[in-house]
Structure 1
Amino acid sequence: MDVVGVAIRSQGRLLAARRTSPPAHAGRWELPGGKVAAGESLERAGEREVREELGCRVTGVAVLPGRVPLVWPLVLRVVVADLVEGEPVPHEHDAVRWLAADQLEEVAWLEADRPFLDTVRGWLR
Structure 2
Amino acid sequence: MNLLEEMNYRQWQKRNSQVFHGLSAEQQRQARKKGYYNSGWGKVKSSWELLQDFKNSTYKVVSLFEHELNKGNLAKAIDLAIIESEKAQKMSEEGKKELEKVSKNLHKIADKALDKYPLL
What interval of TM-score do these two structures reach, taking the shorter chain for normalisation? under 0.3
Greater relative CO, 1 or 2 (CA 8 Å, sep 6+): 1
- The normalised TM-score by structure 1 is 0.21
Of Structure 1 and Structure 2, the greater helix share is in: 2
TM-score (norm 2): 0.22
Q: Which structure has the larger Rg over C-alpha atoms?
A: 2
Report the structure, 1 or 2, having the larger strand content.
1
